[in-house]
Amino acid sequence: MAKKILVAYYSWSGRTKEEAQKLARENSGDLLEINVPKNTFSDDMYETFDISKKQVADDDYPEIDVGNIDFNKYDEIMVGSPVWGGMPATPIHTFLQLLKSNNYPGLVSYFYTDAGTVGDFVGVFKDWAKSLEVED
C-alpha cells in the first residue's frame, strides 16, 4: 500500500507555498497550509524577523490555524518553512507542538526555502520536534 503523505507548510512570501505544492504533486500527498492570525507578522521582512526573535526569546509562539485534520491517518508529514535567522519560522514550532499533543506516531520530515544562509535550521527543527520521529 502506498505511503500516505501530508505536506504541511507555512509560507510568509509565497515561495515555500510553491515548493510545498510541487512536493505534494510529486508525492501524491495532501496539502495543508499553516495559517496565523492576521497581523501576527509584518509585511516587512526585517520587522518579521524581529517579531520572530522576540517570540523565541519569550517562548511565546504564534497561534496557528490548520483546520480540523486527523494527522494520524498519515504515514509521513513533510513540514515546510522559510528560514528566519537560521531557524524555522516560529509557526512551525506551534505546529510541531500540535503534532506532539496529538501523539502523532508517523515520520516527520522537513524542507525549507531561504534567501541566504540555512544556519541551524535542521538542529532547531529537531529540537522543536523532540519526541517526534524526524527523518532527514
Cα–Cα distance list, 27 to 9, 35, 49, 86, 112 (Å): 15, 22, 31, 27, 17
Structure confidence at residue 118 (pLDDT): 85
Q: Kindly state the cell numbers that stand for 1.
A: 500500500
Render pLDDT for 87-111 as a digit per residue (tens, 0 to 9).
Answer: 999 999 999 999 999 999 999 999 9
Q: Kindly state the cell numbers that stand for 28.
A: 501524491
Render pLDDT for 38-82 as a digit per residue (tens, 0 to 9).
Answer: 999 999 999 999 999 999 999 999 999 999 999 999 999 999 999
Mean pLDDT across the stretch 11-32?
A: 96
Structure confidence at residue 125 (pLDDT): 97
User: Could you tell me if residue 60 is left (phi over 0), alpha (psi between -120 and 50 degrees) or otherwise beta?
Assistant: beta
Structure confidence at residue 1 (pLDDT): 66
The candidate with the shortest Cα–Cα distance to 96, out of 130, 123, 50, is 130
What CATH number belongs to 5-135?
Answer: 3.40.50.360
Cβ neighbours, 10 Å, residue 70: 8
**Helices and strands of the chain, counted as H and E runs:** 4, 6
- Distance of alpha carbon 38 from alpha carbon 42, whole angstroms: 9
Structure confidence at residue 130 (pLDDT): 92
What pTM was estimated for this model as a whole?
0.95
Domain boundaries, the chain: 5-135
